[in-house]
Structure 1
Amino acid sequence: MAKRENNYSSIEDLMKVVIKENNLTKGMNQMNVKDIWANLMGNGVVSYTESVQLQNKTLIVKLKSSVLREELSYGKEKIIKMLNDELGEELITKLMLV
């Protein structure tokens, strides 16, 4: 009887291969950024957030409050760093608050 080789892969590894082969990386990054924005910013900021979009390396966040927009603009660099750290790669280089 022939021995089988262990060719096991984790589901995470398999999903990465499927995402890469089907050119789904851009869409997955878009979803990840939205989820991470919600987790890092908390309910207070999320309640005033209309949309979060990643275009190239620019994160565009549409806010309902001009006061919140001004407040967040002071910490853009810190927000970019926190998001990139959570994503595990430098996906965002610019943050636009509109």
Structure 2
Amino acid sequence: MAKRHNENLPISDILKEFVEKNKLQSGLDKVDVKDAWAKMMGNGVNNYTTDVSLDRDVLYVALSSSVLREELSYGKQKIVDMLNDAIGKKVVSKLVLR
């Protein structure tokens, strides 16, 4: 059984420790990236987005519109920077549009 701490700790510190101990940060990053994509791109792009997945530091986005894919390809680095700003840390280094 885990050692009990007698001092009072904020719940945020306890959750951070739990995430680090159980190596859950990569899964949380995947969820954060999906949420950031949905918020940042809006309904127009989300209607044509079929899949968003993060593998290591590469974000793969599947789109059902080739025209939209071409338009978004012109601003890949800007999208990556905006996603990282929305998340608050550098999670995505490359964007692949499919």
CA distance in 2, matches of 1:42, 1:8: 38
With normalisation by structure 1, the TM-score equals 0.88
Could you say what the CA RMSD is over the residues aligned between the two structures, in angstroms? 1.4
Max Rg structure? 1
Matched, 1:27 2:22: no
- After superposing on structure 2, the runs of 4+ consecutive aligned residues of structure 1 that deviate more than 3 Å are none
- How far residue 12 of structure 1 moved from its aligned partner, in angstroms, is 2.8
What is residue 64 of structure 1 aligned with on the other side? 64
TM-score (norm 2): 0.88
Where 1:84 maps in the other structure, the secondary structure is helix
Write out aligned runs for 1:16-95 (5 A): 16-95=16-95
Alignment gaps of 5+ in structure 2: 1-5
Return the offset for 1:90: 1.0
Q: CA–CA distance in 1 between the matches of 2:77 and 2:67?
A: 18
SS at match of 1:7: coil
Q: Which runs of 5+ in 1 are unaligned?
A: none
- One-letter identity of the residue aligned with 1:95: L
SS of the aligned residue for 1:60 comes to strand
SS at match of 1:62: strand
Total equivalences in the alignment: 93
Q: How far does the alpha carbon of each residue in 1:27-64 deviate from its partner, in whole angstroms, 9 at most, with x for none?
A: 11111100010000001101110111111110000001
Query: 1:7 deviation in Å?
Result: 2.4
Q: Percent identity?
A: 49
